[in-house]
Amino acid sequence: MSPARLRVYLGAAPGVGKTFAMLEQAQEWAAQGRDVAVGLVETHGRAATAALVSGLEVIPRRASRHRGVELQEMDVDAILARHPEVVLVDELAHSNAPGSAHAKRWQDVRQILDAGIDVLSTVNVQHLESLSDVVAAITGVRQQETVPDDVVRGAERVELVDLDPSALRERLSAGHVYPAERVDAALAHYFRLGNLTGLRELALLWMADGVDAALRDYRRDHGIGKLWATRERVVVSLTGGPEGQTLLRRGARIAARTAGGELLAVYVNTQDGSARSQPTELASQRELLERLGGSYHEVRGDDVPAALVEFARGADATQLVLGASRRGRWRAALTGPGIGATVVREAGDIDVHLVNHAAAAGLRSSVHFPKSGVLSRRRMLAGFGLAALGGPLLTWGMSFLQGDEALVAHALIYQLLVVAVAMVGGWWPALLTAVLSGISLDFFFVAPISTVSIAAPIHALALALYVVNGLLVSGVVDRAARRARVARRAAAESELLAYVAAGAVEGDAAVPGILGRTREALGADGVALESLDGAACVVADGASSSEGSSGGSPEGASGSGGSGGSSAARDRVPEDAARERVPQSAASEPVGTQGALRVWGVSLSAADQRLLHAVAGQLAASLENTQLQKAALDTRVVAEADRVRTALLNAVGHDLRRPLAAAVTSLGALRLPTVRLSKEDRAELLETASEALETLTDLVTNLLDVSRLQAGALGVVAEPTEPADVALAALDELGLGPAEVRLVWPEDSVQVRADPVLLQRVLVNLLANALRYQPEGEPVRLGLSRFGDEVELRVVDTGPGIEEERRARMFEPFQRLGDTDNSTGLGLGLAVARGFTQGMGGTLAAEDTPGGGLTMVVTLPSVTAHQAPAQAGEETRA
């Protein structure tokens, strides 16, 4: 039996027609005789969508209760028992109700697929897990329900249901997506033209990536090694030389000749990090590459042509751009074909461009002999010293062994000296020792004595082999030293970069530790971070262990424990004092616009410069992030204060004026001596004045409550409280009866730890808000339920509800969320309710009412049996 198949309809936003397209396919298959059933389809009240469901078998949903609310979910067991050929499952990223077999609907779909049932499903691009951060940046709304990308990528087919953003907004305005009361808010927020355009581009790019991956898989599965140039991908080889900018601009022009062309730049670094490059040139070339819209890559490999070709093939490159050789004619003749010629030979069907430039053939040199630059200068000097001291001593000692029989022993002793010098000092000391020992052997021990002459060709061959052996041994030592250096450097770089990445979260508190690790990794005498504004300077050096977290011990720079934070204070010294400790010859690397990173006591190689550049970049990001956080915090405080002040002035100028004017007008009419009023008129005026003053009292009370909350001066007297008594008091205050509010209360008594006065204010505000939106003739529900050590009070209305992305703002002061009715208050009720609830140690949250509407959930701690009565009545400050 063939495996079940999943087909997903992907959309950029709600309303583009994903469910409609899925139902059209289902109707077509049903007309062809396939067994199609509806597992779950959400019509959202759209008549055209509901019409397409008719004629298809709908498997009943499974009802479940959560926190006293009945929820409808897809019945997976019923689908498996029915076992249709195809089942429709809408909204793949949906989160199931608690208590379900799986937490997510896509997990239900996997179970259905495992049972051999094909599935048609839908999902929006904002629910893809890899794009959640990008979507949040575009729309300002972070999606809580996501589906892993591999679930959608693993579908047998993913169809993009595309709709122009302008057309989608027209559909929304016509009422084809949301009810009329939600259209204006949707158009002004999530469905702005810019948002929809960005989401559409995300969906198209995500689909394009899937097409590229599918094409690569097809070529791999069918053994197709030949390049399929579906789009131009231009790879530019950088060497860190001055020709890089010329190559990048040429590559950008090649990539721009066709739509969708990509520009990539690659730098091949040798395993030991000793490749010759100019770090400043490479940094400027990376900046140019970013401006050209390309991406930078770095690979390691001793065989540069092979590494280039391998990277180009891995990136599916169609063009490879290299600079013409900078070697002179003599060097090219002696060292063989260069990188360009080798790449041309190995590239196969990748087009190779050799670009001439000003530096081509500009660096001329003769033969380049192998160097022992990997070994330290101290080891080389030790090798020369051993040769200078060991040669004469061995010659003097062997002078006591004369005769033709001793000649072999003399040669082996000199050979041993060459090997020892090679192991200590490397190539050049071993070469010098081999030549001098050969001359000494001929001069002192080969007849005729005291002359340097080669009587037989065999002796010349022996001397040559003698020198070659010394060079081979020194080459092995050099290679071993090179590999050891690679290992040590890789470990130091990895440790440093990991520490720097972790320190970026801590901000400037981790700066001394980062400097200490940098000094240790580079082997420098000291590292300093100088501020451009002259306010402070952080220094880490090995001369004094009291000066910084890195002094003398790498553990001091670890940043774990207390050393990282305390050392930050010790290492911050005035700018003038710090400059006295930083030599003028110190190497410098800019740290963004924050300052400069100075290193002294070491000669930096190109690899060291790149590592220093990476550290400087991380330091700049860390310091900038710290400054932005501080600035954002300061700005947020000022903006919040300004917003509240502005809203308060607006409220005083408008909302308070209305009831005040009504009261003044009514009382003024009663006081007019020239106007005769009947008893009915006087009673109506008095009632108007009374209602206006009560409204004014409520508004002023809420304003004072908000002021107390923002000042942190809310007094809370927490004590065991009967929620039923508080609920009845709230109903009495509002003058409500069973026709307006239906109580859903448990039979057993439940107590909460709360302030009864504040809790009553919370319920009054929540009930008033619910009654405002509740359809006429339907009562609001006020229920109570207990879960473990918590008690929940739920105020449930069946009104229009509110979008999830706007719920956070509904609890802010002076927020009406588009409501222009000025007869009901300042928009403070929910803000006061949440503040009072949090002051009592509880939470206030909003949930969707099943079937439509909004449910406000007040969660408070219950009074358990082990709580002592003495705790009751204790006062706290919120």
Give me the CATH code for the 486-629 domain, please. Answer: 3.30.450
| Residue 380 contacts residue 425 (beta carbons within 8 Å) | yes
Alpha helix ranges (H) inside 533-656:
563-571, 575-581, 606-650
SS3 38: strand
Residue 440 has pLDDT above 50, yes or no: yes
Q: Look-up: residue for tokens 């298809």?
A: 56
Closest CA to 610 of 275, 841, 878: 275
Parallel, antiparallel, or unpaired: how do β-strands 715-721 and 752-754 relate? Answer: antiparallel
Q: How many CA atoms lie within 13 A of 433 on its CB side?
A: 38
Segment 342-348 shows an average pLDDT of 80
Is residue 265 within a helix (H) or strand (E), and if so which, with residue range? strand 262-269
Q: How many CA atoms lie within 13 A of 482 on its CB side?
A: 19
296 beta partners: 265
Rounded-to-integer distance, Cα 252 and Cα 262, Å: 8
Q: What pLDDT, on the 0 to 100 scale, is given for residue 81?
A: 93
Residue 631 has pLDDT above 90, yes or no: no
- Alpha carbon of residue 377 to chain centroid: 45
Rounded-to-integer distance, Cα 2 and Cα 40, Å: 25
| Residue 796 contacts residue 778 (beta carbons within 8 Å) | no
Token pair of 55, please? 């004629």
| Residue 775 contacts residue 714 (beta carbons within 8 Å) | no
List strand residue ranges (DSSP E) for 701-835, in order: 715-721, 741-744, 752-754, 780-787, 790-796
Q: How many CA atoms lie within 13 A of 860 on its CB side?
A: 31
Token pair of 167, please? 């057309």
pLDDT tens for each residue of 151-164: 888 888 889 888 88
Same topology for domains 233-355 and 715-877, yes or no? no
Rounded-to-integer distance, Cα 673 and Cα 670, Å: 8
| Residue 405 contacts residue 445 (beta carbons within 8 Å) | no
Rounded-to-integer distance, Cα 464 and Cα 454, Å: 12
Q: How many CA atoms lie within 13 A of 65 on its CB side?
A: 4
CA distances from residue 346 to 305, 318, 352, 432, 846 in whole angstroms, order as listed: 8, 14, 10, 40, 65
Residue 287 has pLDDT above 60, yes or no: yes
Could you tell me the residue ranges of all domains in the chain? 6-221, 233-355, 486-629, 657-703, 715-877
Q: What is the mean pLDDT of the chain?
A: 75
Backbone angles phi, psi at 61, to 5 degrees: -80, 165
Residue 229 has pLDDT above 80, yes or no: no
Task: Tell me which fold the domain 715-877 belongs to.
Answer: Heat Shock Protein 90 (3.30.565)
pLDDT tens for each residue of 494-539: 766 676 666 555 555 567 777 777 777 777 778 888 776 554 566 7
Rounded-to-integer distance, Cα 591 and Cα 630, Å: 19
| Residue 194 contacts residue 181 (beta carbons within 8 Å) | no
Rounded-to-integer distance, Cα 392 and Cα 169, Å: 95
Q: What pLDDT, on the 0 to 100 scale, is given for residue 22?
A: 93
Which CATH number is correct for 233-355, 3.40.1190.20, 3.30.70.270, 3.40.50.620, 3.30.390.10? 3.40.50.620
List strand residue ranges (DSSP E) for 44-187, in order: 57-58, 62-66, 69-73, 86-89, 118-124, 157-161
pLDDT tens for each residue of 358-410: 655 444 433 333 444 456 677 788 888 888 888 888 888 887 777 666 777 87
- Split at pLDDT 50, 70, 90, the class of 469 is confident
Q: What pLDDT, on the 0 to 100 scale, is given for residue 308?
A: 85
Q: Is 1.20.59.10 the CATH number for 6-221? A: no
- Split at pLDDT 50, 70, 90, the class of 821 is very low
pLDDT tens for each residue of 551-574: 333 333 333 333 333 333 334 444
Q: What pLDDT, on the 0 to 100 scale, is given for residue 500?
A: 65
Rounded-to-integer distance, Cα 776 and Cα 824, Å: 17
**Residues counted in the chain:** 878
- Split at pLDDT 50, 70, 90, the class of 438 is confident
Closest CA to 79 of 31, 27, 121, 32: 121
pLDDT tens for each residue of 449-468: 777 776 667 767 776 776 77
Rounded-to-integer distance, Cα 868 and Cα 556, Å: 49
Q: Look-up: residue for tokens 């009072």?
A: 836
Rounded-to-integer distance, Cα 773 and Cα 771, Å: 5
Q: What pLDDT, on the 0 to 100 scale, is given for residue 212?
A: 55
Residue 72 vs residue 118, higher pLDDT: 118
Parallel, antiparallel, or unpaired: how do β-strands 843-848 and 854-861 relate? Answer: antiparallel
Positive or negative, the CA dihedral 541, 542, 546, 549 is positive
Looking at residue 678, its amino acid is: S
First to last CA, the chain: 65
Token pair of 461, please? 């061959």
List strand residue ranges (DSSP E) for 755-853, in order: 780-787, 790-796, 843-848
Closest CA to 542 of 563, 521, 569: 521
How many CB atoms sit inside 10 A of residue 635's CB?
Answer: 11
100-104, 379-383, 446-450, 789-793: least confidently modelled range: 446-450
Q: What percent of the chain has pLDDT over 70?
A: 70
Highest mean pLDDT among 45-54, 128-137, 293-302: 45-54
Closest CA to 483 of 307, 279, 339, 270: 270
Q: Look-up: residue for tokens 């060497």?
A: 239
> Could you write out the DSSP letters of every residue in 840-858?
TT-EEEEEEPTTSSEEEEE
Rounded-to-integer distance, Cα 246 and Cα 836, Å: 66
Q: What pLDDT, on the 0 to 100 scale, is given for residue 120?
A: 94
Q: What pLDDT, on the 0 to 100 scale, is given for residue 478?
A: 67
Closest CA to 587 of 164, 145, 259, 279: 279
Rounded-to-integer distance, Cα 147 and Cα 124, Å: 10
Alpha helix ranges (H) inside 677-719:
679-711
Rounded-to-integer distance, Cα 102 and Cα 108, Å: 6
pLDDT tens for each residue of 736-791: 888 899 988 887 778 898 888 888 888 988 998 888 888 888 899 999 888 878 89
| Residue 168 contacts residue 25 (beta carbons within 8 Å) | no
Is residue 475 within a helix (H) or strand (E), and if so which, with residue range? helix 457-506
Determine if residue 104 is left, alpha or beta; phi over 0 gives left, psi from -120 to 50 gives alpha, anything else beta.
beta
Rounded-to-integer distance, Cα 766 and Cα 788, Å: 24
Contacts of 825 (CB under 8 A, 6+ apart): 655, 698, 699, 702
Contacts of 451 (CB under 8 A, 6+ apart): 442, 443
- Split at pLDDT 50, 70, 90, the class of 118 is very high
How many CB atoms sit inside 10 A of residue 728's CB?
Answer: 14
